[in-house]
Structure 1
C-alpha cells in the first residue's frame, strides 16, 4: 500500500503557500500527500512580544509535537523561525532553493527618515538595526501573520513597518510603497524553507532528498552555525548572510545591543571547500570583540 505523506503546516496564508510548494514538488515526484494545518501558539497570542513568551521556536513547537505524536509525517517551516537545535527524533530533511533574503520597509512616505518617526516590527534584530541607523526614531511592536500586519499598518499612524521580502513576494502582497533595506543584515536563513521529518521515517526522508538545493543548504548552515555559536536562539538581535560566487563564500554577520547602540560586526571570506567550522569562527570573532559580554546582557533582559 502506497503511503500518503501528511504535511504539517501553520494555517496562515504564507505557511500554506510554503506547504503547498512542498506538496506540489512531492506530487510531481509521484508521491501522494495531504495537508494538515495546525494553529501555533505564536499565531494565537498576538498581544505579547515573542521574546516575552520565553520560548524559542514558538512557531515550530506545535508542529514538532504533532510530528512526535504521529499526527503528521513532515513539517514545512520558514527556516529563520526554527531553533538551531531540533527536538530529539526530528531531523532536517530538505532545504529548498532560497528566495529573496532581504528585509524591506513598507512606508507612507520617506520624509520622516531625516526627522522623528515611528516604525513597527516584532523582531528585535530589525528593531536594533533600525535604531542603530535612526536613533531618534521610535520602534513599536507588530505581531501577527503577514496579512494581519499589513492591515495594522493601515489602521495605525506609524510611518512604516519592516517585513521579510520573501514572505510578501510569495503571496503577492508586496505593495508599490516599499524600499529594500540593503543595509540591514537579515536573520540567519531568512528566505529559506526547511522541511523536517522524523529520524526513523526513512520513506519521507528519502522522498524529500530530491528537494534539496545545495547552495542554499551551504549558506543557511553557515549562518545558523554563527547563530548557534553566539547562543542567540531565535530572538536575539543577530543578523547573518552568506553569499556564494563561483567558489568563494562571503559572510557578513553582526550582533547588536537591544537598543541598537552597540554593533559588533564581522565580514570574512573562505573557499567553498574550506567551509568546515566557518560560521563558528566568524561567531568567535564577534564574541572576542565584546560579543560575549553583550550576549550576557541581552540574556538578562530576555530571560
Structure 2
C-alpha cells in the first residue's frame, strides 16, 4: 500500500488516481487528503498569503513526517526549491500546457470586458494583448470557477484541468503558448517522495517521462533564477525539438507593468533557464 498525500479538490484527487493507474496500483494507493493554507484561504490573493508554496507545504510535510509515502502535485504549484529530505522522483507525460478563456473567445470580448483570474501572469499578458480589458480576482477549485463564469465576460482556466475533469463549457478559447506563456510546469504532474526511500523511488522511476522532465526542469531553473518563489508575473514554457530545448519566457515589471518576452534554445536546460531569466531581469531593470 502506497499512501499518497494530496489536496482534496476533485482535480487533485483525479491526479492522484492517475498516478495510481500509471503505476498499475490503482487498488493499492490510498489517498491522504491534506488541507493546505491555499485551500483554507481561498478568498485571498495568492501573493498575499505566501506565493506558490501555499498549495504544497502541508502536502510535503505529510511525506516528511511519515504519514504518506508520496506527494502528488500540479508541477505549477511547486516552488523551485525542493525541501530537504524530499526529491521529485517522477514527472509523467505532460498534458496540454496552455491556458484557456472560458465564456468568450479573446477576439470576441467586447470593449472593456471583465475577465476573472487570480493570476498576475495571466492578467499582464492579457492586458498586453487587450489594454481595454478589466480584471476581477477569482480563486477556488475548477468547479467553483466554472460556476462563477457567468458573472464575468470570461474566466481563465488551465486547459489541462478542463480535460482532466471532463469539463466542456460551451465556449472555450485555448490560447497558444506564444499568445499566453504558461506558468512554469503547467500541465505537468510532479510526484515527490522521501530522498532516502529507494524502494518508492524505484517504483516512481517507471512512470517518468524523460522529455517532459527535461522541459519542466528547464522551466524550474528559470523560476529558481528569478528567486525560487517568484511573486512577479512570470511564466515559461519549454519543449524538446530533436536534441534541443526551445523555451519562451515572460516577465513583467509589476502587475500593471510592461510585459517582456524572450526566447532561446540550448541543450542544457538549467543553463537555458538561467540565461532567459537573466535577460528578463535585465529588461525589467531597464
Q: Please give the range of the TM-score, normalised by the shorter of the 2 chains.
A: over 0.9
Q: 2:161 aligns with which of 155, 159, 167?
A: 167
**Unpaired stretches in structure 2, ≥5 consecutive residues:** none
**Corresponding residue of 2:14:** 17
CA distance in 1 between partners of 2:277 and 2:106 (Å): 35
Q: What is the aligned partner in structure 2 of residue 116 from structure 1?
A: 112
Q: Secondary structure at the match of 2:212?
A: helix
* TM-score (norm. length: structure 1): 0.88
Report the 3-state secondary structure (helix = DSSP H, G, I; strand = E; otherwise coil) of the residue aligned with 2:180. Answer: coil
Counterpart in the other structure of 1:245: 241
Quickly say closer, same or farther: Cα 1:67–1:110, change in 2 above 3 A.
closer
Query: Displacement, 1:174?
Result: 3.0
Q: Who is 1:297 aligned against?
A: none
Q: Match for residue 209 of structure 1? A: 205
CA separation in 1, counterparts of 2:100 and 2:106? 13
Match in the other structure for 1:82: 78
SS at 1:287's partner residue?
helix
Aligned-residue offset at 1:283: 1.2
Judged with a 3 Å threshold, the aligned counterparts in structure 2 of structure 1 residues 191 and 170 are, in CA distance, closer, same or farther, namely same
Take 2:259 and 2:51, find their aligned partners in 1: how far apart are those partners?
A: 25
Unaligned 5+ segments in structure 1 are 295-303
Deviations 1:134-175 (A, max 9, x none): 222111110101111111113x2x100001000110011132
CA change 1:88–1:31 in 2 (3 A) is farther
Q: CA deviation at 1:38?
A: 1.6
Q: TM-score, normalised by structure 2?
A: 0.93
1:38-53 map, 5 Å: 38-53=34-49
Cα offset, 1:234, TM superposition: 5.2
Supply the distance in 2 between the matched residues of 1:243 and 1:288 (Cα, whole angstroms). 24
Report the counterpart of residue 282 of structure 2 in structure 1.
288
Post-superposition offset of 1:119 = 0.2
Please give the alpha-carbon distance, in whole angstroms, between the structure 2 residues aligned to 1:170 and 1:90: 27
Question: Shift of the alpha carbon at 1:236?
Answer: 2.3
Distance 1:275 1:196 in 2: 21
**1:31 CA drift (Å):** 8.8
CA distance, structure 1, for counterparts of residue 164 and residue 213 of structure 2: 20
Whether 2:23 is the aligned partner of 1:26: answer yes
The 5-angstrom pairing of residues 1-303 of structure 1 reads 4-28=1-25, 32-108=28-104, 113-154=109-150, 156=151, 158-182=152-176, 183-231=179-227, 233=229, 235-270=231-266, 272=267, 274-289=268-283, 291=284, 293=285
Task: Tell me how far 1:123 sits from its aligned partner.
Answer: 0.8
CA distance in 2, matches of 1:256, 1:80: 18
What per-residue deviation string (whole Å, max 9, x for no partner) do you get for residues 104-135 of structure 1? 10024667635111000011111111112222
1:239 Cα offset (Å): 1.2
Report the CA distance shift for 1:131/1:69 in structure 2 as closer, same or farther (over 3 A). same
- Matched residue count: 284
Q: Structure 1 residues 254, 243: CA separation in 2 closer, same or farther (over 3 Å shift)? A: same
Report if the CA contact (8 A) 1:132-1:261 is conserved: no
**1:26–1:33 contact (8 Å) kept in structure 2:** no
Looking at structure 2, the residues matched to 232 and 91 of structure 1 have their Cα atoms a distance apart, in angstroms, of 16
Which structure would you say has the larger Rg? 1
